[in-house]
Amino acid sequence: MASQEREDLQADCASCFGLCCVALPFSRSADFAVNKPAGQPCSNLQSDFRCGIHAQLRDKGYPGCTVFDCFGAGQKVSQVTFGGTDWRQTPRTARSMFEVFPVMRQLHELLWYVAEALDLTPARPVHKELRRAMARIDGLTRGSAESITGLDVNAVRGEVNTLLLRASELARAQVPGRRKSHRGADLMGAKLAGADLRGASLRGSLLVAADLSGADLREADLIGADLRDADLSGADLSGALFLTQAQLNAAKGDAATVLPPTLSRPAHW
């Protein structure tokens, strides 16, 4: 995928109207210090649409904000769907803008996964179909607000997931030996330190607070895996499939954790 297209799937908060701070709800918990309904601006949102406590989110009780990733949906809604006109300037568009954002976020997440699959050389047999899927999804993201909110995103996701699963199988088939399957497994708090999970399927698995320190996760499929508070210290994630920055941000790691070149080491590690 072209570098410019990759950049378009990364959040550019300076080009967004603080949509994640307004459109989405959150509840008082370990992730958020207060309750906030959907459509109500967070009290920390400033007039320039920037977060007033961005550098202190974890210290102020908002770690949930640090693990959210819109995959570039915020700037797409702000600058393309609504042509650069913000919800404060034209309050009548606010409700529509806030309804479009979560749908756009799902579409952009799919684009990210498809882009990842297209980077997998062993998945060449499905690259043509993946490129068609990418073109179709990209077209959907450029539709009107009404067309976007009227989408059956689950249907789109189901169609694309079939291709992503095939790409994953082709890529993991290159790993020698028997590959473990923990797809959708409840591994909350599991003791997996040093585990050989290379080429394993961990799609949709619950790995909250799991001990994965020193584990071999090369070429493991981590799409949709819940890694909140999982210990990735010293783990090898090089070549991990469909791993996102948000998943890393939600986990724990250290300087010895080996990451894919497309992702960054979270500051709180």
How high is the pLDDT of residue 104? Answer: 98
Give the integer Cα–Cα distance in Å for 14 and 182.
39
If the chain, 269 residues long, is cut into consecutive pieces of 10 residues, what is the mean pLDDT of each piece?
A: 65 95 95 95 96 94 94 97 96 96 98 96 97 97 98 96 98 93 96 97 97 98 97 97 96 97 92
How high is the pLDDT of residue 8? Answer: 83
Using CA of residue 33, residue 71, residue 4, residue 123, what is the dihedral sign?
A: positive
Q: What is the largest CA-CA distance in the chain?
A: 59
Instruction: Give CATH superfamily name and number for 178-269.
Output: E3 ubiquitin-protein ligase SopA (2.160.20.80)
199: left (phi over 0), alpha (psi -120 to 50) or beta: left
Helix (H) or strand (E) holding 102: helix 94-118
Residue 227 exposed, middle or buried by CB count within 10 Å (0-12, 13-18, 19+) = buried
How high is the pLDDT of residue 5? Answer: 61
How high is the pLDDT of residue 178? Answer: 87
Long-range CB pairs of 197-205, under 8 A, 24+ apart, other chains included: 199/172, 199/174, 199/175, 200/172, 201/168, 201/172, 203/165, 203/168
Would you call 93 helix, strand, or coil by DSSP? Answer: helix
How high is the pLDDT of residue 2? Answer: 44
Please state the domain extents for the chain.
3-171, 178-269
Other Cβ atoms closer than 10 A to 7: 10
Beta carbons of 140 and 148 less than 8 angstroms apart: yes
